């Protein structure tokens, strides 16, 4: 929240903010003399000393908690090597593996995907650096204006306690890839998104072929390139059983490619009705591909480690028409969805 009212006395302002939000307020005056409401303190000391527990604002009701002991220890996520036997990544065996994984669960980890490792690593470092900035500096990007190309997203307990998408004090930043207006935040985002775009087009081509369609059929339907990215930061949480980093959701797009901190797990997806943890494979530099609207997923927190993830979303352009592909419809396979325009 940012308020421009330089004439208001601080104490008066604190009172005003307190009455609007019903929460004790911490605020900071930024370099434009605007008052920026700060994030809530993370943890509550139990009896004034360690061990710490999550602040009551972040503790979910029992039926919304992650039940970590019930997360499957046996189920695994398919891993697909994109560098197949013919060395071109387009062989029929790769088409088969991808269509099988898409049909069975809608997500898989990919290795040897061709996205330069150094570029991915530099993205993850830049995100960590951004979220480690003093809260008052990054708070300047907080806005609820959906048209802004760069938006800092915060745990939304204040407005919708216990029901928000970010129950714990997770932070996210949503960037339109075309908006290079904040190069200092994620300097390589355009280059990274371009590489991921190439990979996404390859995947769409393989999926199209698996469905017996022309190579570029699905991509033509969606539009040119991925346009949106979201970086997430999950601070360590004293008791991950009590809350969630990101509540259960599906992504509003066709494909998501997600990279997570090396060696720190947190992402979980539903497979055959059970929650399964998506291991972050440290050495292989894997990334996860998900079919956006189909896959229910969530992020849990970690007790001692912070975790960062970076999602690139590829969805239909505003003027695309989405619906079942005509070539796949016949009397035996009637359309399951209606045709509609995106905007």
Mode of pairing for the β-strands spanning 35-37 and 2-3:
antiparallel
Q: How far apart are CA 23 and CA 201, in angstroms?
A: 47
Please give the residues from 284 up to 313 whose contact with Fe ion meets the rule CB under 5 A.
none
Largest Cα–Cα distance in the chain? 72
Number of residues that bind ligand AKG (CB under 6 A): 12
Using the minimum distance from each CB to ligand AKG, give the nearer residue, 209 or 229: 229
Query: Is residue 309 within the footprint of ligand AKG (CB under 6 A)?
Result: yes
Site for ligand AKG in 228-267 (CB under 6 A): 230, 232, 246, 251, 258, 260, 266-267
Residue 33 CA, chain-centre distance (Å), reads: 32
Q: Which does 155 bind (CB under 5 to 8 A by kind): ligand AKG, Fe ion, none?
A: none
Residues 246-265 that bind Fe ion (CB under 5 A): 251
| Cα→Cα distances 317→127, 198, 254, 255, Å | 26, 17, 11, 13
**Residue 299, binding choice from ligand AKG, Fe ion, none, Cβ under 5 to 8 Å by partner class:** ligand AKG
- Nearer Cβ to ligand AKG, position 93 or 274? 274
Residues in CB range of 193: below 8 A, 6 or more apart: 177, 225, 226, 229, 312
C-alpha 286/C-alpha 271 separation (Å) is 19
What does 59 interact with, of Fe ion, ligand AKG, none (CB < 5 to 8 A by kind)?
Answer: none
Tell me the closest approach of the beta carbon of residue 58 to ligand AKG, in angstroms.
Answer: 17
Q: The tokens 């999550």 sit on which residue?
A: 54
Q: Which residues bind Fe ion (CB under 5 A)?
A: 251
Q: Which residues bind ligand AKG (CB under 6 A)?
A: 230, 232, 246, 251, 258, 260, 266-267, 297, 299, 309, 311
């Amino acid at each position: 929240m940012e308020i421009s009212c330089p004439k208001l006395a601080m104490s008066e302002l604190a009172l005003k903010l307190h009455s609007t939000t019903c929460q004790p307020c911490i605020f900071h005056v930024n370099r434009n003399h605007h008052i920026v409401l700060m994030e809530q303190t993370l943890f509550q000391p139990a009896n004034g000393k360690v061990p710490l527990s999550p602040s009551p604002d972040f503790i979910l009701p029992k039926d919304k908690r992650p039940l970590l002991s019930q997360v499957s220890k046996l189920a695994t996520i398919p891993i697909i090597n994109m560098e197949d036997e013919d060395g071109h990544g387009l062989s029929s065996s790769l088409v088969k593996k991808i269509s099988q994984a898409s049909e069975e669960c809608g997500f898989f980890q990919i290795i040897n995907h061709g996205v330069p490792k150094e570029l991915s690593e530099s993205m993850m470092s830049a995100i960590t650096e951004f979220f480690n900035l003093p809260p008052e500096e990054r708070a300047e990007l907080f806005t609820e204006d959906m048209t802004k190309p760069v938006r800092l997203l915060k745990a939304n307990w204040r407005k919708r306690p216990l029901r928000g998408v970010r129950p714990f004090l997770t932070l996210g930043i949503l960037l339109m890839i075309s908006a290079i207006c904040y190069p200092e935040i994620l300097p390589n985002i355009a280059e990274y998104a371009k590489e991921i775009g190439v990979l996404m087009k390859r995947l769409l081509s393989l999926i199209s072929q698996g469905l017996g369609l022309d190579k570029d059929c699905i991509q033509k339907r969606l539009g040119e390139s991925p346009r949106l990215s979201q970086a997430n930061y999950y601070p360590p949480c004293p008791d991950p059983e009590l809350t969630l980093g990101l509540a259960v959701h599906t992504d509003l797009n066709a494909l998501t490619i997600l990279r997570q901190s090396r060696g720190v797990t947190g992402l979980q997806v539903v497979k055959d009705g059970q929650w399964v943890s998506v291991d972050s494979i440290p050495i292989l530099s894997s990334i996860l591909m998900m079919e956006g609207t189909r896959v229910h997923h969530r992020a849990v927190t970690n007790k001692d480690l912070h975790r960062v993830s970076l999602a690139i979303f590829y969805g239909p352009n505003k003027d695309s028409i989405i619906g079942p592909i005509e070539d796949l419809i016949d009397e035996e396979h009637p359309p399951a969805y209606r045709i509609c325009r995106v905007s």
